[in-house]
């Protein structure tokens, strides 16, 4: 007993003295150890609740695209907005091998199957827009779940709004190319066959509060069946409560009270930059030409800012906030065309839009911002022009960057690559997307953050 008591006294003394010693040490080291950056990461770790979610998708934006954009625009030691987000992870991208009759993975996805995975939480086959593999059953999207629970929803893209990435939030079709009424690939999805209609028709029928992008051409066709038979899709959208606008000036000055459909180009919005595509021979060192987008078309940043303020204003005083998806589509399109200037210009434009999202999230701290991509692309940064097709760019820091493209034979469009892509997040619950994730996890994180999961 005596020994025991002595031990306890000794332990207590050690605790007290130790505590004092730690206290002194803590006082001395109040500024912390400057080599330990834990505190920087900790400052970005925030739990819920979440009121708004902004999901940024860089189509085809793998780490090569990010690196090429950083190198060209800011230099190898520069940092893009998305680079500054500390809570980072990677996402696996694969589709279901439905075309071979299998539910197992097909390692290289397209944007339709990829988008379906994060929009609905379910893997599907190539070319499907929020449509179940093998059954054609419509899969409920984040935007649809959010609408049912009283959130405002928006969809912004530099693509046609009938493109696969925006479509996955507001349409359900077997084939992604079923974009306009009368498109032959619609088959049983056509309204004349009793289906939900093309992507344009479903956008007009949707409950989205705001849709901004290109694709006016797909809305000019005539609806073959249903309540709007004989009307154009634009007329149908107007009847169902959308104001339809077509220029940047109309977007900037819009103060109406209706839902908003902005169609700023016939097809995709014009890429910001251009230059010589990669070639087999005869390439010369080049600087990218900037400022290529016509003034009547809004930039992605412009559309993103307008979308945020539109949705946020309409959420004021309401219990629920908003869900907004923003796509930078041209990164992928530039890579398909083996055109590094187009690819990089769109990456830089996308990063500027991300900055607008982060700026809003800093003022509205219950906003979760997620920045990710849908699949890898062609395009590598190489030591010299050894790929099938090459281009040499002189970066803003005055150095040569050789981009090589070699995922297509002959002169066909470059192919996607089956690689994990980055995910970088900011705001409450952002920590849920650190480490290696599946695209379906993005769905889970968003529906749990907004508390909109469908009841089983
Ligand atoms: Mg896309
Ligand atoms: Zn693509």
Residues 382/71, Cβ–Cβ less than 8 Å: no
Calpha distance 87→66 (Å, rounded): 16
For position 101, what pLDDT does the model report?
A: 98
β-sheet bridge partners, residue 92? 438
Ligand 1 midpoint to CA 111 (Å)? 6
Relative to the alpha carbon of 161, which ligand is closest? 1
CA–CA–CA angle 143, 243, 115 (5° rounding) = 25
Ligand 2 midpoint to CA 140 (Å)? 24
pTM: 0.93
Relative to the alpha carbon of 158, which ligand is closest? 1
For position 452, what pLDDT does the model report?
A: 98
Residue 320 phi/psi, 5° resolution? -110, 150
Residue 400 phi/psi, 5° resolution? -80, 130
Ligand 2 midpoint to CA 378 (Å)? 10
Q: How many helices (H) and strands (E) does the chain have?
A: 13, 16
Write the DSSP symbol of residue 232: B
Ligand 1 midpoint to CA 182 (Å)? 22
Relative to the alpha carbon of 59, which ligand is closest? 1
Edge-to-edge strand ranges of the sheet holding 380-382: 285-286, 389-394, 400-405, 380-382
For position 30, what pLDDT does the model report?
A: 60
For position 6, what pLDDT does the model report?
A: 54
Ligand 2 midpoint to CA 418 (Å)? 12
Calpha distance 127→185 (Å, rounded): 11
Residue with tokens 């339809």: 244
Ligand 1 midpoint to CA 335 (Å)? 12
Write the DSSP symbol of residue 273: -
Residues 380/68, Cβ–Cβ less than 8 Å: no
Calpha distance 325→143 (Å, rounded): 9
For position 48, what pLDDT does the model report?
A: 87
- Biggest CA–CA distance in the chain, Å, is 99
Query: What are the residue ranges in the chain where pLDDT is below 50?
Result: 1-3, 7, 9-26
Residues 323/141, Cβ–Cβ less than 8 Å: no
| Torsional sign, CA 381, 385, 387, 391 | positive
Relative to the alpha carbon of 169, which ligand is closest? 1
Catalytic positions: 111
**Rounded to whole angstroms, what are the CA distances from 284 to 68, 79, 336?**
18, 28, 20
φ/ψ bin of 19: left (φ > 0), alpha (ψ from -120 to 50), beta (otherwise) = alpha
Question: Both tokens of residue 274?
Answer: 């251009």
Calpha distance 184→296 (Å, rounded): 32
Residues 85/54, Cβ–Cβ less than 8 Å: no
**Mean pLDDT across the chain:** 94
């Amino acid at each position: 007993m005596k020994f025991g008591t002595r031990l306890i006294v000794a332990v207590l003394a050690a605790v007290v003295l130790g505590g004092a010693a730690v206290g002194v040490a803590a006082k001395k080291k109040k500024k912390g150890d400057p080599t330990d950056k834990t505190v920087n990461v900790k400052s970005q770790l925030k739990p819920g609740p979440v009121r708004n979610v902004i999901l940024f998708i860089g189509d085809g934006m793998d780490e090569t695209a990010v690196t090429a954009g950083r190198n060209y625009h800011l230099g190898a030691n520069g940092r893009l907005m998305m680079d500054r987000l500390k809570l980072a992870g990677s996402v696996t991208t694969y589709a279901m091998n439905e075309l071979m009759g299998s539910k197992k993975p097909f390692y290289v996805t397209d944007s339709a199957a990829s988008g379906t995975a994060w929009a609905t939480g379910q893997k599907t086959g190539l070319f499907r827009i929020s449509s179940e593999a093998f059954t054609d059953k419509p899969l409920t999207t984040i935007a649809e779940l959010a609408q049912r629970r009283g959130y405002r929803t928006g969809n912004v893209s530099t693509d046609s709004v009938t493109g696969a990435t925006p479509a996955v939030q507001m349409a359900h079709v077997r084939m992604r190319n079923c974009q306009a009424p009368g498109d032959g690939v619609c088959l049983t999805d056509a309204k004349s066959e009793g289906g939900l209609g093309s992507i344009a028709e479903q956008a007009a029928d949707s409950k989205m509060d705001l849709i901004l992008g290109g694709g006016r051409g797909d809305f000019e066709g005539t609806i073959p069946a249903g309540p709007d038979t004989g009307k154009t899709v634009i007329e149908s959208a107007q009847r169902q409560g959308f104001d339809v606008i077509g220029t940047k000036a109309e977007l900037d000055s819009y103060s109406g009270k209706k839902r908003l459909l902005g169609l700023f180009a016939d097809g995709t919005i014009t890429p910001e930059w251009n230059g010589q595509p990669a070639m087999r021979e005869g390439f010369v060192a080049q600087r990218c030409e900037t400022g290529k987008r016509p003034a009547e078309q809004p930039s992605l940043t412009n559309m993103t800012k307008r979308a945020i303020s539109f949705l946020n204003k309409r959420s004021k005083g309401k219990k629920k906030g908003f869900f907004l998806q923003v796509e930078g589509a041209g990164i992928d399109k530039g890579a398909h065309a083996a055109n590094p200037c187009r690819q990089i210009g769109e990456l830089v434009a996308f990063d500027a839009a991300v900055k607008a999202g982060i700026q809003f999230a800093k003022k509205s701290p219950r906003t979760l911002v997620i920045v990710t991509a849908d699949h890898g692309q062609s395009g590598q940064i190489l030591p010299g022009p050894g790929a099938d097709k090459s281009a040499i760019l002189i970066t803003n820091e005055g150095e040569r960057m050789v981009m090589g493209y070699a995922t297509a034979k002959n002169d066909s469009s470059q192919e996607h690559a089956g690689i994990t892509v980055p995910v970088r997040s900011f705001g409450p619950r952002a920590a849920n997307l650190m480490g290696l994730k599946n695209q379906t996890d993005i769905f889970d994180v968003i529906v749990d953050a907004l508390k909109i999961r469908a009841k089983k």
